[in-house]
Chain A
Amino acid sequence: MSGTLRNQAVRTLQNRAFLALCLVCTSLSVLLVAVLLVTIVTQGSARLFNQAAVDAVFSHGELGHIPELIRWSVLTNFASRRPDDAGLCAPLLGSVWVCLTCMVFALPLGVGTAVYLEEFATRTRFSRFVELNVRNLAGVPSIVYGIIGLTAFSRMFGLFGNPDGTPIQIGDPDSALSLRLPFGPSVLAGGLTLMLVVLPIIIIASQEALRAVPKSLRQASEALGATRWQTTRLVTIPAAVSSILTGAILALSRAIGEAAPLLVLGIPVFIANTPSGPMSNFTVLPFQIFNWASRPQVAFQELAATAIIVLLAVLLTLNALVIYLRHRLHHAL
């Protein structure tokens, strides 16, 4: 009798202690996010915001100064040896160019693969092999993709090029539509490399989106005499489109944050022009952050923090878009 009572007390204590441990671990996780954000904002906000304008707007209510809140020169200047003149123009536009190139290739390929696996393929050994393969590809470190991108796109296995080592030029080199073989560290090579990184994400997300479409919709369509492709195009994909888009945006935010694979391609550290076509040189935001953060001077560390704020702002916007799309999906089905 006394034994079970003590036992009961021990178990209650155990339960309480575990709950305390749980609370510690969860609040530690949340606290870390807070510390991370505070560290970055305290270091980076001085170069992003205009202190005089902040005072004018928030202390004196002079709303006319709102456009001056942000020091726009940080966004419109090129990188510089002097921290006070340095800006994010080249990496911002470089990120946009490369990520758009990446999505132009990755979206059709990824969704196409998912449509084949879910709608066309029978459950053969081949399709199971492809699925396993995609899952394994998702675990490959991005720097390994960078090495493949360097070999396959940037150098093209050493198969192309003039005898003197210069690349073969096709079309007018000043035109945006010219082509160069091998691609070198260009926007096209960077986009294709990032495509390799995000392809498994898009395939898996699109597969899940298509799998979530009820079978009855397809059966109804086929009962009306529609072919497999007509069913896919007119019924299944429209029903799955917001989930597919959600996956695509997640893939895009992964692509925006990747520095390692592009670094391997040999993209330049300092660049004073923005891309004008697929063969232009470029740099990206995460690589610029890496470059500034690895310098010893405090001023460059602050610049790195400023660039991180800009990068996180872009990513948060994309996340908000995902939440909005999920909300719409909720209404649709």
Chain B
Amino acid sequence: MTTAHTSPALRAALAAKHGSLRSSVLRELRERFVRGMFILCTVFSIGTTLAIIATLAWETTHFFALPEVTLADFLLGTTWSPLLGAEKHFGIWPLVCGTFLVAGVGALFALPVGLIAAVYLSEYAPKRIRATVKPVLEVLAGVPTVVYGFFALTAITPALQWMCTLVFGVPIFPGYNATGAGLAVGIMILPIVCSLSEDALQSVPRSLREGGYALGGNRFDVSVRIVVPAALSGIMASFFLAITRAVGETMIVALAAGGLAHLTLNPANETQTMTAYMVQIFLGDAPAFGVENLSSYAVAAVLFVITLGLTVAGNILLKLFQEEYE
């Protein structure tokens, strides 16, 4: 209580009497120590990136040093058969193709639906609906992906088969297929697209909308012709983030897409993605330093380059199309 009422000047004078020199040196030391600790933390985050790049590069060179693998075959080959047959082939294209097939099905579903839902929530919906749907989306974004994989396997694929039997008389879709997995991936990225696009639409200043209405536009004109273009950078960023997540998604495709790598763009086929191949290798008893094990590092390196490329491209687009409003 007494210190609280002491005047600051008096306290400073008291401090000057009682060894303030030592305390200021100590304080300086402590300040430097703390700063150093924080720099160490920061360096760790850069170290993680370096560790990723170094590990993948190192093991990938080991992979290409093996006699049965060549870089040309890996980059240009159209057969991926590391586990079957007398002659092993390591051509990455079937896996890349499977990855983009599944991600494409997901994006085809989630990007338009997510964006339109975002436009509705931001421009049309009454406050009450927005206040209910937004938290639901956030909860949905936190659902573990293995749950969506289970959903694809036990609900989406059977539903697809049932519908095709109803229409065409044959189920068409096998138990594991790219469409079932792709739709589950779409459901997984839907909340990302919707939530982030909605944020982007909300950050468009009110004056732009009012200008649109003043010129005689109706709600459709204002939201689709003015607000969406104005928020385009944020919307594109949400799209890129969602596609990156879809490309790197593992548990859904491991459960529902099957395990057969072949070069196909038919979404009714069984397919294998890069991530699902890694799961197959690490779940099996592949020896720690065999060719199969090393091949997963090469696949991981390709996956890392693709996702990093998508992230960087998204950031560049965000900067390029960003509109500044006062």
Contact = CB atoms under 8 A, between A and B. Distances in A.
A305 B150 contact: yes
Contact of B303 (A30, A136, A141): A141
Contacts of B113: 25, 28-29
B250 A115 contact: no
Q: Which of B8, B48, B219 has the most CB atoms of chain A within a 10 A radius of its CB?
A: B48
A109 B278 contact: no
Contact of B45 (A15, A121, A130, A293): A130
Interface string B121-163: 1001100000001011111101111111111011100000000
A84 B48 CA distance: 44
Contact of A139 (B44, B48, B194, B307): B307
B18 to A, nearest CB: 16
Nearest to A227: B31
Contact of A39 (B155, B224, B248): B155
Contact of B315 (A28, A43, A115, A135): A135
Contact of A140 (B40, B275, B304): B304
Given A143-B278, A264-B282, A250 B142 contact: yes
Interface stretch (A73-81, A166-174, A273-281, A311-319): A311-319
Interface in A304-333: 304-305, 308, 311-312, 315-316, 319, 323
B119 to A, nearest CB: 6
B120 A199 contact: no
B146 A259 contact: yes
A140 B220 contact: no
B52 interface: yes
A93 interface: no
B254 interface: yes
A310 to B, nearest CB: 12
A248 interface: no
A129 B43 CA distance: 11
Contacts of A130: 42, 45-46
B117 A148 contact: no
B297 A227 contact: no
Interface string A20-37: 011101101110110110
A12 B217 CA distance: 10
B69 interface: no
Across the A-B interface, give the 3 residue pairs with the lowest CB-CB distance, nearest first: A141-B248, A257-B144, A112-B41
Given A141-B248, A144-B56, A148-B51, 16 more contacts: A15-B218, A26-B116, A29-B113, A29-B114, A29-B117, A39-B154, A115-B38, A120-B35, A120-B38, A135-B311, A137-B48, A140-B308, A144-B52, A152-B51, A293-B150, A311-B147
Interface of B: 8, 27, 30-31, 34-35, 37-42, 44-46, 48-49, 51-52, 55-56, 59, 112-114, 116-117, 119-121, 124-125, 133, 135-140, 142-151, 153-155, 187, 190, 194, 218-221, 224, 241, 244, 247-251, 254-255, 275, 278-279, 282-283, 288, 296-297, 300, 303-304, 307-308, 310-312, 315
Interface of A: 11-12, 14-15, 18-19, 21-23, 25-26, 28-30, 32-33, 35-36, 39-40, 43, 108-110, 112-113, 115-117, 120-121, 129-130, 132-148, 150-152, 155, 196, 199-200, 203, 224, 227-229, 250, 253-254, 256-260, 263-264, 266, 286, 289-290, 293-294, 301, 304-305, 308, 311-312, 315-316, 319, 323
19 contacts: A11-B218, A11-B221, A12-B218, A25-B116, A26-B117, A112-B41, A113-B42, A116-B39, A137-B48, A139-B248, A140-B308, A141-B249, A144-B303, A147-B300, A148-B52, A150-B282, A152-B55, A227-B31, A257-B146
